[in-house]
Amino acid sequence: MRHFDHIDAARRAELFHLQPREFDRNANPDVLAVALGATLYSPATRPALAADIVKCARQGVRSMVVCLEDSIADAEVPGAEDNLVAQLRELDPDEAPLLFVRIREPGQITALARRLGPAAALLSGFVLPKFEASGGRRHLDALAEASELSGVRLLGMPVIETRDALYRESRRTVLQDIALLLAGHREQVLAVRLGGTDLCAAYGLRRPRELTIYDIKLVAGLISDVVNVFGRADETGHIVTGPVWEYFSAGERMFKPQLRSSPFDEHDAGPLRRRLLTADLDGLIREVTLDKANGLTGKTVIHPSHVGAVHALSVVTHEEYSDATDILGVVAGGAMASSYANKMNEAKPHRAWAERLLRRAEVFGVAAPDVGFVDLLEAAVGAQTMNPVGR
């Protein structure tokens, strides 16, 4: 699979200086963690789940989570498990994106691996909700057992979303204990996720569509601490993904839209801007931009219309690529003017940033010099429908 493959090949050639590279379920986890991009959640109860997965993959979705946890009622769990197993057995592996299952308790991991049989090869792993060290070891042990049973490499994505992780008096201990646990199971961990909905729920909050998660200071503080502990640019670090964006249809607006009209007017893309505002995607675009600035990679989403925006923002600009290659081309250190002559690049302080950026360039590509976000977004969302598939 490859990002932006749903776009016509001739148009891709115009958009990219370097095309995104292909990857598959067996790729190096460091590549897969970045390649997750916009991870679309879908309840396991959907009657046409297999068809939905294929449809989303054809629209550019490259990672999906089939959810057995909060997106379905407690009484629905047995039926949802039956549906998940039956639907995945129908799937053609060549038509599926990276697939994960969000479970409620560790026993579901091994039980599903047994029930799926050969269809377990469709899975890249499991999402481990409300993860803390005390119970997290059981999740990781179950993951190892399921991998052995199925003969498939199954990776885990722990979700930090518990109240103890959020509360100031227990946060440091909780995060440090999780970090110690994950350090001993590094080969099993694909990425660390953040559960924005559960974190807000600890204080009876819900993020309005006109604000970003960074405006919710209680949660923003935890995001900072999670990146501090888990997102370090050394061998101890993990990819940390952005919390869910949960809106897909605009209501009454109190504040001005968060997308300037001029970049769209320059590309004669006024209708695209209106479409984004109607679907409340201006807030998502702002939040993803802030995610990137704060050290997060990828995003949890609940609607296919979110995916194009996240992926367009994930493409490395030609200017960024020029800076990164210039920085990595200098071994002895020192400062230099950028190739675009608009900033200073320092070889040593900017090196970790440049290395991370080139990993993203591998899977999302590098835009052509005259191609901007609006061009990429217009191409990425042009063929998408607005039918909800999410949580």
Q: What confidence tens digit (pLDDT) does each residue in 276-288 have?
A: 655 667 888 899 9
Show me where the domains of the chain are located. Answer: 24-312
| Tens digit of each residue's pLDDT (9 = 90 or more) over 174-203 | 999 999 999 999 999 999 999 999 999 999
pLDDT of residue 100: 98
Query: pTM of the predicted model, to two decimals?
Result: 0.91
pLDDT of residue 391: 40
CATH number of the domain at 24-312, please? 3.20.20.60
Dihedral sign of CA atoms 227, 228, 232, 235 in order: negative
Q: Is 75 exposed, middle or buried (0-12, 13-18, 19+ CB in 10 A)?
A: exposed
Instruction: Compute CA distances 90 → 25, 67, 78, 98, 138, whole Å.
Output: 18, 18, 19, 16, 30
Mean pLDDT of all residues belonging to the chain = 91
Helices (H), the chain: 9-15, 29-35, 49-58, 77-90, 107-116, 133-150, 163-166, 168-183, 196-201, 217-230, 262-266, 270-278, 281-293, 305-314, 318-328, 351-364, 373-381
pLDDT of residue 388: 43
pLDDT of residue 387: 40
pLDDT of residue 378: 85
pLDDT beneath 50, residues of the chain: 383, 385-391
pLDDT of residue 276: 65
